[in-house]
Amino acid sequence: MMKNYNDTVQYMFSLLPMYQRQGRSAFKKTLDNIYALLADLDNPHEKMRCIHVAGTNGKGSTSHFLASILQEQGLRVGLYTSPHYQDFRERIKINGEFIGRQEVVNFIEKIEESIKAIRPSFFEITVALAFDYFAKQKPDIVIVETGLGGRLDSTNVVHPILSIITNIGWDHQNMLGNTLPLIAGEKAGIIKNQVPVLIGEYQQELMSVFSSKAASVNSDLRYAQELIKSDDSSIEFEKSIKLDISDQISYQKKNIKTAVAAAKLLSASDLLKIDYKSIEAGIRNVVKNTYFIGRWMSLSDRRMIFADSAHNQDGLKALFDHIATLDFGKLHVVCGFVNDKKIDDVITFFPPSAKYYFAKANIPRGLDCITLKNRFSEYGRSGKSYISVRKAFAASRATAKSNDLILVCGSIFVVAEVL
């Protein structure tokens, strides 16, 4: 019997394989466990109306923007995302409110025998908890973000009203494949029979992967650029009605465009009615509506200090491209990575002129800070190593001048320690 919430979460972390902490050993190549677990719970995934979101980058942001839009339309919106930054309950929300602590405790106690019999992973347990909670709470719509991949992701048991794939890039090649078409094939696994699918980013070399999969299951395939006209400063929702996105961080504009295209597709197909005012307010109020954190997040009212969970090639390139447009003195970067990340693939995106503060995230998979410092040094990026993220962050704040910019990045676990 679990005594309280903290004991329950610690039990989940310690006894169940967790990809974010353990890496590839926690990744299952079958959906048998999640189906067995959900069967013991009377198949809650069949009792909720949902939208399923996959992609290499932007799937979490797109999910939050779309959830916020739907909330502004007056809907009660469930949102399942992963991983979390500080509180496990961030993963499971309804209109921005976390699942209750007691709900988590009661659920783990309820399925204790199933855990012993099935031996599910941490992620499988969390997905089952989310679906069980949403089935009971009955929100109008649930937005479900995949973990990694799609075809074999534990969330891929749902039958949504819309599937969304934001984009395809390089990440988790050791599990998803070492070419973009192979990775796209895994993400395309969420495309379901007669369920429309929206692709956020048009990538010519991947068109055949998506069109072939969609045709095989009679799914209507659409690209965001077909549904909306946009440029770097605005999105045309309807003729003469434009949404201003000029003040948004550059890399989020793609995700906003995907969310708006999804809203337009849902509305046009009578799946959900969404008006322009809800879209405009949803984009503006995403943080307040959905507890959206960790993406270009300001950590100070007085200084330029930001945290961003970008960690792969496309994400880091977009992040540093944005930083290059800003006006500041010197760039100070507090960074850390997990030990199975191919950091040689991403180091070149980090500016050589920046001052670096290397740290190990406080998880078993955290990459040793000395190793990290030495690897960066080989590429002409210099700095000091610190035994903790907090010490590295404190050193950056003590060193940086008032007009300098401090960035914390590299891993969601590094970012979590400074929030």
Exposure of 11 in the CB half-sphere (CA atoms within 13 A) = 18
5-290 topology per CATH: UDP-N-acetylmuramoyl-L-alanine:D-glutamate ligase (3.40.1190)
Sequence ranges of the domains in the chain: 5-290, 297-416
Mean local confidence (pLDDT), 357-383 = 93
What's the pLDDT band for 173 if we cut at 50, 70, 90? Answer: low
Does residue 268 carry a pLDDT above 90? no
20: confidence class by pLDDT, cuts 50, 70, 90: very low
Per-residue pLDDT, averaged over 18-28, amounts to 48
How large a percentage of the chain has pLDDT more than 90?
73
Mean of pLDDT over the chain: 91
Model pLDDT, residue 11? 87
CATH number belonging to the domain at 297-416, selected among 2.30.33.40, 3.40.710.10, 3.90.190.20, 3.40.50.720: 3.90.190.20
Please, which residues have CB within 8 angstroms of residue 86's CB and are 6 or more apart in sequence?
416, 419
5-290 and 297-416 in the same fold: no
The per-residue pLDDT for 26 is 45
For 65-75, how does the pLDDT look when each residue is reduced to its tens digit (9 = 90+)? 999 999 999 99
Candidates 53, 33, 64; CA nearest to 288 is 64
- Residue 362 is predicted with a pLDDT of 87
User: Which of 16-25, 86-95, 179-188 is the least confident region?
Assistant: 16-25
What pLDDT does 1 receive?
52
Distance CA 64, CA 186 (A): 23
Contacts (Cβ under 8 Å, ≥6 apart) of 194: 217, 218, 219
Higher-confidence residue of 106 and 345: namely 106
Long-range contact pairs involving 303-306 (C-beta distance under 8 Å, separation at least 24): 303/400, 303/402, 303/406, 304/328, 304/403, 304/404, 304/405, 304/406, 305/397, 305/405, 305/406, 305/408, 306/405, 306/406, 306/407, 306/408
- This prediction's pTM: 0.92
Percent of the chain whose predicted confidence (pLDDT) is above 70 = 94
Confidence of residue 19 (pLDDT cuts 50, 70, 90): very low
392 pLDDT higher than 90: yes
* Better-scored residue on pLDDT, 339 or 222: 222
- Cβ neighbours of 205 (radius 10 Å): 11
Residue 22: the pLDDT is 46
